[in-house]
Structure 1
Amino acid sequence: MLIETLTTLFGRDLQKLKEELELYRHEENIWRVDKEILNSAGNLCLHLIGNLNTYIGAELGGTNYVRNRPEEFSKKHVPRVELVAQIEQTIATLETSLASLSEDRLRDNYPLQVLSGIVSTEYFLVHLAMHLSYHLGQVNYHRRMLDC
């Protein structure tokens, strides 16, 4: 049950992330920063892609994804079409990876210690969904404030 719910929520919010990027009237504004807004929508998008592909795709789904976290925040001017393609690939990876999990695996400890202590896989997946939602809100705010 939880796996289906998480698959739906991750898919919904990643689809919304694609829509947010597509709503920018000026593609270059995806990479814009300002005094109080230090992360561009593009970098937040790369961060979410890296985060989900690492902690769900590679760790739980066994993909060969290798994360370069510093690049998620330093890389600039990736074309919108490429960001959208990476989001679509992430959606597919999450669907496959989550479908491979059993309810017993959800109750097991998450294989990596990422947060302040050991947590269950179930707990960490909910954390990742909330992390996605948090940054999705930032992208929405970024677009409305800086895509003038």
Structure 2
Amino acid sequence: MIVENLKTIFNRDLNKLKEEIAAYQDEANLWKTTGDIKNSAGNLCLHLIGNLNTYIGAAIGNSGYIRNRELEFSLKDIRKSALIVMIEQTITTVEETLNQLKEEELQKEYELKVFENKTTTGFFLIHLATHLGYHLGQINYHRRLID
């Protein structure tokens, strides 16, 4: 049941991410920063894609994805349509990976040490869902302030 709930949340929020990116009227605004806004919506989008493909796709699903976190924040001017394709691919990766995950695996130790202490897979997946929601909210505000 928890896995199904996680699938629903990831699917909902990744589709919302796709909607937010698509809603930018001026594509150049995806990459703008101003004042205390240090991360553009485009870079936050790349960060979420990298994060989920690393911690769900590669770590749990053995997808072979190799992350370059530095590029998530340094790449610029990627077309909106390309970002949307990357989001769609991430939706597929997350869904396919979680479809293979058994409820009992949520209680097992997550294979990567990301925080100071080890966590369970279930705890870490919840963390990833809240991380997605946090940056999704930032992207929403970015769009409404800058675009």
TM range (shorter): over 0.9
Quick one: which amino acid aligns to residue 68 of structure 2? Answer: N
1:72 partner SS: helix
Give the Cα–Cα distance (whole angstroms) in 2 for the partners of residues 22 and 52 of structure 1. Answer: 20
SS in 2 for 1:98: helix
- Aligned residues, how many? 147
Q: Displaced runs of 4+ in structure 1, greater than 4 A?
A: none
Equivalent position of 2:37 in the other structure: 37
Distance 1:22 1:103 in 2: 34
Which runs of structure 2 are paired with 1:42-121 in the superposition (5 Å)?
Answer: 42-121=42-121
Q: CA deviation at 1:103?
A: 1.3
The alignment partner of 2:135 has SS state of: helix
- How far apart are the structure 2 equivalents of 1:63 and 1:28? 32
Paired with 2:5 and 2:104, the residues of 1 have a C-alpha distance of: 16
Report the alpha carbon displacement of residue 110 of structure 1 after superposing the two structures with TM: 0.3
What is residue 6 of structure 2 aligned with on the other side?
6
Q: Which residue of 2 aligns with 1:138?
A: 138
Give the CA deviation at 1:59: 0.5
- Structure-2-length-normalised TM-score: 0.99
Q: Distance in 1 between matches of 2:83 and 2:140?
A: 16
Cα distance in 1 for residues equivalent to 2:61 and 2:79: 28
Residue 39 of structure 1 aligns to a residue in which SS?
coil
Secondary structure at the counterpart of residue 76 of structure 1? coil
The gaps in structure 1 that reach 5 residues or longer are none
Unaligned runs of 5+ in 2: none
